[in-house]
Amino acid sequence: MTSPTTGTRPRVYLDWNATTPPLPAALDAMMHAARTAWANPASVHGDGRAARKYVEDARTELAALTGYEARDVVLTSGGTEANNLALRSAFAIGEGGVLVTSRVEHPSVVRVAEALAREGACTVRWLAVEAGGMVSLADLEAALAEGQVKLVAVQAVNQETGAIQPVADAIALAHVRGAKVHVDAVQAFGRVSTSYIFGADTLAIASHKLRGPKGVGALVTKPGAKLHAYTFGGAQERGLRPGTADPVACAGFAVALRHAHEGPARYQAIAKMRDRLEAALAGSSVRPAELRAQTRAPHVSSLLFPGWEGPELVAAMDLEGVSVSSGSACSAGTSEPSPVVSALVGERARSAVRVSLGEGTTEDDVSYAIEAFTRVLARATS
């Protein structure tokens, strides 16, 4: 899929893990909602009810996609807020306990864990990570045996390497010991089959990663899950996420959620293109064992380019009209390497570049990206 033009050639967008282009049908639904559903969705009158319908539609579609109940959906501003709510809820009542998680989680889990530890709300037990960036189930068993574990937070798909984490096994191990499990599924829905995360006590999802708009997402829970607000205000979302909901964003989110059911089938075909790109770059890049997950999503590749600083290569590719990334978008603007890749390969993370394809990526896009990489990398050595 191409994005707005630079010069005469349309740009090639290979940064689908940062965000995805919104579906045209989602944009149409949002335009319609913006014109007709501008009332406050919490208002009891007819205008309010018209706006509320979009909010409730998104909730219903979330239930349909995840297999959980619509009444157990808390709409949030996105994945970050859903992760915060899940982790903070588990340690809100001042009883302490242990949070088990790992350094390959998204910062919206890692930083919350660090904050909870600083605040004295819990102790954090960081899990060992094995080759390929997979969390160690043996270490999870050990952590659970140490006792006092209230929550295990393990992601479904890693945003940098595409590692599909052993979530089903983690859930089974944690539940035997009476611990709850939170799954950050932001990079999973719409891309990989998600049956392996069913059974999580809470899960986070974000609209903009599955072709909906930004600014909306959800925390979905098992029935009866105990959540605690960490922001306070009105009674929206059962008081767990106070503030006026956005019917326009929800309208787009609902369309994207319907589209996401067939996502895993669409993404399967992408693996061939990703592999072609990796093969073409094999002479100038390395993918060390630490970045080679045994099971990984079909569309993403983190590569090291020895002799390069990741941000420099990203800038050079940008001039060629190709969008790739080094580090996650939330830390863009700084030249810090991705904390996940750093956790896996240390200092070598400085030379990392992530290429993430998506359901709109074409063979032509990949061919152009290979040519552009080849040009840029050749210039550096000539």
Query: Residues in the site for ligand PLP, rule: CB under 6 A?
Result: 78-80, 83, 106, 108, 155, 159, 184, 186-187, 206, 217, 328
Q: What is the rounded distance in angstroms from the CA atom of residue 67 to the CA atom of residue 298?
A: 23
Residue 174 contacts residue 149 (beta carbons within 8 Å): yes
Give me the phi and psi of 355, to 5 degrees please.
-115, 120
Residue 77: DSSP 8-state: S
Contacts of 122 (CB under 8 A, 6+ apart): 90, 91, 96, 97, 98, 99, 116, 150
Nearest to 168, CA basis, from 144, 211, 139, 137: 137
CB-hemisphere CA count at 13 Å for 191?
A: 34
161 vs 351, which CB is nearer to ligand PLP? 161
Least Cβ distance, residue 192 to ligand PLP (angstroms): 13
112 vs 377, which CB is nearer to ligand PLP? 112
Q: In what order do the strands lie in the sheet with 2-6?
A: 2-6, 9-13, 322-323
111 vs 348, which CB is nearer to ligand PLP? 111
Nearest to 219, CA basis, from 87, 112, 106: 87
Residue 187: DSSP 8-state: T
- Strand 202-206, strand 217-221: pairing: antiparallel
Least Cβ distance, residue 261 to ligand PLP (angstroms): 20
Residue 70: DSSP 8-state: G
The residues annotated with a catalytic role in the active site are: 330
Least Cβ distance, residue 145 to ligand PLP (angstroms): 28
Nearest to 230, CA basis, from 216, 220, 246, 242: 242
79 vs 310, which CB is nearer to ligand PLP? 79
Least Cβ distance, residue 116 to ligand PLP (angstroms): 17
155 vs 326, which CB is nearer to ligand PLP? 155
Least Cβ distance, residue 82 to ligand PLP (angstroms): 8
